[in-house]
């Protein structure tokens, strides 16, 4: 039974490159089964045409398709969805989902609504991501080390694959860093949110089923991962922490990566990050550094 919407009004945004039509159908079907329907659904074709999802699947809420002429990357595609939702002006929370994800439970949007309704300073809610066997990869737990994926609470970051953002927070801190294209855009947004006093909650009861993958499957991974790491530090960290943060990541990369080709691409991207413009510089305050440290992840790790 579909429950009448009360509290914050929710939209769902999905960005796709058009190469996973069956997965997108399954995701949208899982959205249609939610016991609190979204007020709006925005589907972005990131440099690709879109089929008539709404007519085929009888989706709830008003469905808005957006077809971009070129692939703007993960953050650019999400910004296109946010810009359209901002034009409507009737959405309080945006749930952004990977196009190959799946909402297994029917109460996810209701739980999201209730979490935001209970805390006016809650800016971001991160979902738990697990594969079809229920396994969560360590990189998908927003804490340092091999933390328990079922332990929720306030954290310093969130996962791009499944999360919810408060519209008022985005109006204050700005949208995704489109120039990143792919990698570390979540950290950039999370640090800006934390610096503005918004809370980030990891809620493991909100499950997004997602195939087990490696970010290195993307051809550009090593280069943009390093470039964006440098840009992130230059944009958001106090000056004394920039060499510390980057030094830690150089050492970690050397310790973890055994591929000469991967290392060459990574250091090439690192050089790009140093020499190319990083865009705006809005470093976090030292009290934010302390706050992130108290939450278990100082911004040098």
Q: What is the DSSP string of 188-256?
A: HHHHHHHHTT-EEEEEEEEEEE-----GGGSTTHHHHHHHHHHHHHHHHS-TTHHHHHHHHHHHHHHHH
DSSP-assigned beta bridge partners for residue 41: 12, 63
For 224-241, what is each residue's pLDDT tens digit? 999 999 999 999 999 999
Residue 1 pLDDT exceeds 50: no
pLDDT of residue 5: 53
Q: How many CB atoms lie within 10 A of CB 249?
A: 20
Find out whether 138 and 146 touch, Cβ atoms under 8 Å: yes
For 243-260, what is each residue's pLDDT tens digit? 999 999 999 999 988 888
pLDDT of residue 257: 84
The CATH architecture to which 10-213 belongs is Alpha-Beta Complex (3.90)
Find out whether 232 and 273 touch, Cβ atoms under 8 Å: no
Q: Can you say how many angstroms the Cα of residue 15 is from the centroid of all Cα atoms in its chain? A: 12
Task: State how beta strands 162-166 and 93-98 pair.
Answer: antiparallel
Strand order from edge to edge, sheet including 153-154: 62-67, 40-45, 10-16, 93-98, 162-166, 122-130, 199-209, 153-154
pLDDT of residue 145: 72
Listed range (122-131, 202-211, 252-261) with the worst mean pLDDT: 252-261
Q: What average pLDDT does the chain have?
A: 92
| Residue at token pair 């969130």 | 158
The three-state secondary structure class of 287 is: helix
Find out whether 104 and 207 touch, Cβ atoms under 8 Å: yes
- C-alpha dihedral over 196, 85, 13, 82, to 10 degrees? -50
Domain residue ranges of the chain, discontinuous segments joined by +: 10-213, 216-282
The Cα-based distances of 204 to 104, 229, 245 in angstroms read 13, 27, 28
């Amino acid at each position: 039974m579909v429950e009448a919407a009360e509290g914050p009004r929710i939209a769902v945004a999905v960005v796709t490159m058009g190469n996973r039509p069956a997965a997108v159908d399954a995701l949208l079907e899982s959205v249609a089964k939610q016991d609190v329907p979204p007020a709006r659904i925005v589907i972005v074709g990131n440099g690709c045409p879109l089929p008539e999802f709404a007519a085929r699947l009888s989706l709830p809420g008003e469905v808005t398709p957006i077809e971009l002429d070129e692939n703007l990357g993960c953050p650019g595609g999400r910004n296109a969805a946010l810009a359209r939702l901002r034009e409507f002006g009737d959405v309080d929370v945006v749930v952004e989902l990977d196009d190959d994800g799946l909402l297994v439970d029917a109460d996810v949007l209701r739980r999201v609504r209730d979490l935001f309704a209970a805390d006016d300073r809650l800016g971001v809610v991160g979902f738990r991501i697990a594969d079809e066997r229920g396994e969560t990869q360590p990189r998908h737990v927003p804490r340092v080390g091999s933390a328990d994926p079922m332990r929720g609470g306030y954290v310093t970051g969130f996962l791009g694959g499944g999360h919810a953002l408060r519209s008022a927070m985005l109006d204050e801190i700005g949208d995704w860093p489109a120039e990143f294209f792919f990698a570390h855009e979540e950290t950039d947004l999370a640090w800006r949110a934390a610096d503005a006093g918004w809370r980030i909650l990891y809620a493991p009861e909100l499950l997004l089923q997602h195939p087990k993958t490696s970010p290195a499957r993307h051809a550009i991974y090593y280069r943009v991962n390093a470039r964006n790491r440098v840009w992130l530090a230059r944009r958001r960290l106090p000056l004394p922490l920039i060499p510390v943060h980057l030094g830690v990541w150089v050492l970690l990369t050397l310790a973890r990566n055994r591929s000469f080709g991967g290392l060459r691409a990574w250091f090439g991207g690192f050089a790009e990050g140093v020499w190319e413009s990083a865009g705006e510089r809005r470093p976090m305050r030292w009290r934010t550094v302390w706050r992130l440290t108290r939450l278990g992840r100082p911004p040098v790790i």
